[in-house]
Structure 1
Amino acid sequence: MVSPSKIFSPPMDCLHCGWVLHSLPDQSCTEALIWNLYRNHISSSKFFLPLLLFPLILNWRRQTRRRLWAIVKNYLQTVSVASTVNALAYYLSCILRRLNDRFVYSCIFGIPALLASQLLWLAPTRVVQFFATGVLPSAFEAVLRQLNVGLVHSRGAQTLIFMVCSLVVLRRQQIKAYSGFWFIRPAPMPANYDKWSLGERVKQSLLELRTHLGIGLALDLINGARRKQLKKMQLKSTRFMLSCMGIYQLTQCLLANRLESKITNLLAAFLSGGAFGLVKQTPLTYMSIGVVIASQVLWQEFCEMDATHNGLLAILQRIPWALLFLPPSLAYLIHSMFIQPHVLTGLAKSFLNNTADNNVQRVYALINQPTDIVMNTVQKLPIKPFLF
C-alpha cells in the first residue's frame, strides 16, 4: 500500500471528517455539501468548456438557434451532473465516517462514489454517453496498468487492437449507422468513385485533410488554452488525425478501381488505425478509448438485431450496460486517485480534480504528509456538527 493508506490506521483513522474532507475548516457536513455544490459548478464549467466551444467552432457555419440551444443545454447538464455527483460523494463519505466512528477502507472514497454516481440513472442519454466515453476508457486503462499485463508494454499489440477498433467503428460510420465520437469522420465514398480520375481523388483527399486539420487545430488550441500552455502546444491531436485520415484517403485513392468499394472501405478503415504506431505519448490511452468505443458500436449493432422470437436476446438488448458500468468505474477511479494514483492517466486525474474544485488534490496532499504533521495541523481545527 502507498503512503496515503495510513489514514485507515491509528491514529489518523479517528480524525474528524471535517478535518479531512471539508473544503473549509469552519463548515459542518451539510454546509460543506452546499459549498461543494457551488464551487464544483464553477470548476466543472471551466473544465467542460471545450464541450461547449468545440461544437460551436466545428459547426459555426451551420449553426441554428435550435442547435445552439442543444449544445448549451448538453453543456449545462454535464456540468450539473458532474458537480452534484462529486459533492454528494463527499457528503456520503462524511456520513460513513460518522457511522463507523472512524475512516474505513473504501468507505471514504470508493463506496460513497459508487452510491453518488447512481444519479447517472436520472441523467439525459447524451450526458451518460459522454461520461461513458471518458470514464470507461480511463478505468479500463487503470486496470491494465494495475495488473501490469503484457499489453501495457507491447506497442505492436496495442497498434493491432486499435486497427481492429478502427475497422469496427468506421465500418458502421460509413453506412451512417454510428454518429458518435471517433478520431476521424471520412465522407462516404461516392458510388462512382472508382471512375474518378486520380486528380479528382487527390483533390477530394486534400479537402478531407483540410477539414481534419481544422478540427485537430481547434482541439489542440482548446486543450492548450485549458492547460494555459499555448506557447508549448504540441499539436498531438492534429498530427494523429491527419495521419489517420491520410492513410485512409491514400488507401482509397490507390485501390478504388482495383477492389470492390466495400472491401476498399474496410481495408482503408483497418489501415488508418495504423497511425496509432506514430503516437509517442499516452498510446495506451488512445487504445483504451478505441476499445470502449468499438465495444459500444458492436453493442449498438447487437441491439439492432431482431429479437421478436428470442426472449433471451430481447432481455439482453434492454440491459443498460453503460449505466451499470459507469458507477463502479467512477468509484474505482476515485478510490485509485487516493490509494494508487500511479495507475491513473493525467486526464483522469485532471477530471477528478477539476470537477471537484481540486478537493481531491487537497485531501491527497493532506493525508500524504507525515502523521505527526497531520495530527498537529488538524487538531487545532474546531469540530463541527453534521447539519448546521
Structure 2
Amino acid sequence: MVSLSKLLNQGLRDAKCYEVFHPGKTCSEFHFGKSRSLLIKCVKFFFPIATVPLILKGKNLRKKHVREAFEYYMELILTGFLISQQVPMAWCLVRRLSGKFTECNIVYLPMTLPTWTIFFISPRVARLFAASIFQVTFEAAIRNSKNKICKTFCNSKTIQALLFMTCSAFVLHTIQNYNVKAFWVVKSIPRPIESDIDAKCSHNGECSKFWLNDLAKNILIGLSIDVFKTFVGSITKTNSLFNAFGNKLVHLNFPTTFFLSSYSCIYKMTSCLLNQKSDMNGELKHIIAAFLGGISFFTLPKLTILCYIISISIEISWHLFERKKFKNNLKYLELLKRIPFHRIYTCLSVGYLVQMYVFHPEALSQLGLAMVSAFTGDQAPEMKAVFHNYIKTIKHNK
C-alpha cells in the first residue's frame, strides 16, 4: 500500500470528514446514528468476560460473586459504550479543529482521545482494559514487524512453547508464594503449611484421586466455556440462533477443554510425582512442575494465548514492584508507583491498534479484530471501506 505521507500529498490532506469517513451522512448522523447498536455490541462483547470467571468458580460460586460480577459487567458496558460513542465525534472534531488531515489526526489521535474515560473507572476495569489492549497490541506489533527475529518468533511454535512454559513457571510460582491475585486459567497448587515442605504434597487424600478430581473439574469447565463461547458467537442478526448454534456445535473440536485439562493435569501430576520421588528443594519442584505444565501449549498453539500469559507476567511483576519498599536514596522509585502507566498505555495503544486495522489488518488476531469492532461500535469495517474507496478515487484522479 502507498505510504500515508504520499496519500496526504495526493489529495487526502484537504479532504472533508464526510468525504473520507461518512459520505451521505451529516456529522450528527455519523455521531449518534448507531448509539443503539453500540450499546448492544458492548453488551455482547463483555458478557463472556464477566461470566466466564463465574463458571471457573464452580461449586465455590456464591451470591456475592454474582452480584460483584453484575456490577463489574455494568461498568464494562458503560466504559465501552462511552469510548465507542466518542470515536466518531473525535474523528470529525479533530479534522475540524486542525483544518486538514495529517498522519497523526487521520486515525491515531481520534482513537486516542476518547479513551480518556479510562482515567475515571475502577482499578479492576482499568487493569482489564490494559491487559487486553497490551495483549492484542503486542501481538499486532510482532506480526507487523519486518525484523527477522520477530518473523522467526511468529513462525516457530517451539520457541513460542518454550516462552509459554517459562511464563507458566513464573506465573504459577509467584501466585503460590507471593499471594498475588491474577486471573490465570489454571489454579496454582496451595503452598504446603507443614514445616517440611520438601517432602509432602499440599493436597488432602491420595494423589491419584486429586488428579482425577482436578481433571474432571477442568474438563467440565472447558466444556462449559467452549459451549458458552459458541452460543454467544451464534447470536447474530441474520441467522436463527439455534440453527447457527447447532451448526457450530457440530463442528466444535473443544480446544479450550483440551488445553485446560492437559495443562492442569500435567502441572499437578508432575508436582505430586516430584514430591514423592525427588529430594530436591520444594520450590524447585513446583517451578519444574509449572514449567512442564506449559507443554499443553501445543494443544492450542496460538500466539494470542502466549501474548496473554506475557501480559499476565508483566502485571504480576508490577504488583511485586508495588509491594517492595525502597530506601530513602531510592525515593524516585516510590514515585513511579503512583504513575498510572496501565491507563496511559491503554490510551496510547488503542490508536495504534485501530491504525493497524486500517492499514495492516493482516497483523491483527481475531481477538484484535473483535476489540477494534467493539471500540468503534462495528463502524470500523464501514469506515475502513469508505476510507480505502476514497484513496482509490484520489489515486485514479491523479
Residues of 1 paired with 2:30 and 2:210: CA distance? 57
Compare 173-182 and 358-367 and name the one that shifted more: 173-182
Change (3 A) 1:46 1:198: closer
Structure 2 equivalent of residue 296 of structure 1: 315
Partner AA of 1:264 in structure 2:
K
Structure 2, unmatched stretches of 5+, are 235-247
Count of aligned pairs between the two proteins: 372
Partner AA of 1:178 in structure 2:
V
Is 1:200 aligned with 2:200?
no
1:216·1:241 contact (CA, 8 Å) conserved in 2? yes
1:267-315 deviation line (CA, Å, top 9, x unaligned): 11111122223334x2x22221111110111111111111253312212
Compare 85-94 and 100-109 and name the one that shifted more: 100-109
Structure 1 equivalent of residue 371 of structure 2: 351
Change (3 A) 1:2 1:202: farther
Structure 2 equivalent of residue 215 of structure 1: 221
Compare 45-54 and 4-13 and name the one that shifted more: 4-13
Aligned-residue CA RMSD (Å): 2.9
Compare 305-314 and 194-203 and name the one that shifted more: 194-203
Residues of 2 paired with 1:273 and 1:64: CA distance? 31
1:104-150 deviation line (CA, Å, top 9, x unaligned): 32312111112221221111111111112211011111111121423
Structure 2 equivalent of residue 240 of structure 1: 259
Compare 185-194 and 42-51 and name the one that shifted more: 185-194
2:8·2:101 contact (CA, 8 Å) conserved in 1? yes
TM-score of the aligned structures, taking structure 2 as reference length: 0.84
2:85·2:377 contact (CA, 8 Å) conserved in 1? no
Residues of 2 paired with 1:60 and 1:169: CA distance? 22
1:43·1:355 contact (CA, 8 Å) conserved in 2? no
1:70-105 deviation line (CA, Å, top 9, x unaligned): 111111111121221122122111012223444332
Identity of aligned residues (%): 25
- Per the alignment, in what secondary structure is the counterpart of residue 206 of structure 2? helix
Residues of 2 paired with 1:183 and 1:66: CA distance? 21
Instruction: Give the deviation of 1:36 after TM superposition.
Output: 4.3
- Structure 1 runs of 4+ aligned residues shifted over 6 Å read 3-7, 196-199, 372-376
1:224·1:230 contact (CA, 8 Å) conserved in 2? yes
Partner AA of 1:203 in structure 2:
K
- Per the alignment, in what secondary structure is the counterpart of residue 48 of structure 1? helix
Matched ranges for 1:333-372 at <5 A: 333-369=353-389
Is 1:275 aligned with 2:296?
yes
Partner AA of 1:111 in structure 2:
L
One of 134, 152, 157 as aligned partner of 1:155 = 157
One of 306, 320, 323 as aligned partner of 2:343 = 323
Change (3 A) 1:53 1:227: same
Partner AA of 1:343 in structure 2:
A
Structure 2 equivalent of residue 17 of structure 1: 17
Residues of 1 paired with 2:58 and 2:158: CA distance? 39
Residues of 1 paired with 2:68 and 2:109: CA distance? 34
